[in-house]
Amino acid sequence: PQIKAPPVIRQLDDAAINRIAAGEVLERPASAVKELVENSIDAGAARIEIDIADGGKTLIRVTDDGCGIAPDDLPMALSRHATSKIDGSDLLNITSFGFRGEALPSLGAVGRLTITSRAAGEEAAMISVAGGSAAPVRPAALSGGTVITLRDMFYATPARLKFLRTDRAESQAIGDVVKRLAMAEPFVTFILRDTSNGDQRTTFRADAETGDLFDALHGRLRTILGRDFADNALRLDTQREGFHLTGYAALPTYSRGAAVAQFLFVNGRPVRDKMLLGALRAAYMDVLSRDRHPVAALFVDCDPTLVDVNVHPAKSEVRFRDPGTVRGLIVSGLRHALAEAGHRASTTVAD
């Protein structure tokens, strides 16, 4: 039999590597918004403005008043696995949103990306990258903070472009991301402008007077979920074996016909986690009929070593060391709050 010569093994170039990685981190425009806004939060911004056009497909611009990036660091910000947030020695102790150093190089691989930034004591500078190749750093005009513009997302990866949904659906997904991050950061002001949708503007303003986290969160939930939620929400503040549960959950009388208003956060990070959703459901089991769904924003906080956020590139999934304790904390914390409000587990609530 003829033996074929093996194919040569080659190292892929950076542009190809970034495009492959981008496929994991960046599913749709909303993923770009998530990465950029999380970077602004990590930079300590108090005010974050997000402008989008055509569902984010043609334009995403995030402007913040955070710490900025020094001109010399701009090329590094675009380099893969380069981050200012961890030094790699302690992956068990992550307190920032970012740590993989993947978002900016990935965005630069799938769209036309421009970063303009000014750090304290530095001149403003900018860098651009399109389809993976970066231009040199240039001087720019900016009084402070960072402006990151992504145009024509996925123009360099037409296969992904084809899978995007309507502008309306993509806008909605972006709105959802901003909403969740705005709940996670009630002391930060968020402004979302949809320039292609009659210049629609959503503002979540941080109240400068409020220093109390519960007050700030309650105010923010009132803006996002409405007055009825705020008026029917029970405050949660309970702990067990190193896990702390806080947030607000609505009385069973204020429920919804679909599980669309359940917001979960682990160490400040919005997550979609089956175990946590199941615990929320279980807590209301005896007070809600099967076709009704609780409305809640639950925050679970613990020592970073008790939870692994490094499960998924988009970091929307987490793994707890001890899921049973967390489930128990949520079920008993919610049941206790409901019982105190007069909705005993045995009460049947008319729909």
Residue with smaller CB distance to ligand ADP, 304 or 323: 304
Q: Is 131 exposed, middle or buried (0-12, 13-18, 19+ CB in 10 A)?
A: middle
Q: How far is the CB of 170 from ligand ADP (least distance, A)?
A: 21
Those residues whose C-beta lies under 8 Å from the C-beta of residue 191, and which sit 6 or more positions away, are 47, 48, 49, 50, 201, 202, 203, 204
Nearer to Mg ion, 71 or 98 (CB): 98
Which CB atom, from 154 or from 229, has the smaller least distance to ligand ADP?
A: 154
8 A C-beta contact, residue 297 and residue 186: no
CB of 267 to Mg ion, least distance (A): 16
Q: Give me the least distance between CB of 33 and Mg ion, in Å please.
A: 12
The radius of gyration of the chain's CA atoms, rounded to the nearest angstrom, is: 22
Which is closer to ligand ADP, CB of 90 or CB of 340? 90
**From the list ligand ADP, Mg ion, none, which binds 85 (C-beta under 5 to 8 Å, kind-based)?**
ligand ADP
State the binding partner of 43 from Mg ion, ligand ADP, none, CB within 5 to 8 A by kind.
ligand ADP
Residue 244 binding partner per list ligand ADP, Mg ion, none, with a CB distance cut-off of 5 to 8 Å that depends on partner kind: none
Residue closest to ligand ADP (Cβ): 98
Among Mg ion, ligand ADP, none, residue 67 binds (CB under 5-8 Å by kind) = ligand ADP
Q: How far is the CB of 114 from ligand ADP (least distance, A)?
A: 12
Nearer to Mg ion, 76 or 349 (CB): 76
Instruction: List residues binding ligand ADP (CB under 6 A).
Output: 35, 39-40, 43, 64, 66-69, 77, 83-85, 98-104, 146
Nearer Cβ to ligand ADP, position 167 or 185? 185
Residue 320 Cβ, how far from ligand ADP at the closest point, in Å? 22
Name which of 39 and 128 has its Cβ closer to Mg ion.
Answer: 39
Choose the contact partner of 56 out of ligand ADP, Mg ion, none; CB within 5 to 8 A by kind. Answer: none
> Of ligand ADP, Mg ion, none, which one sits near residue 283, judging by CB under 5 to 8 A according to partner kind?
none
* Cα–Cα dist 269/96, whole Å: 9
Least Å distance, CB 93 to Mg ion, is 17
CB of 169 to ligand ADP, least distance (A): 25
Residues that bind Mg ion (CB under 5 A): 39, 98, 103
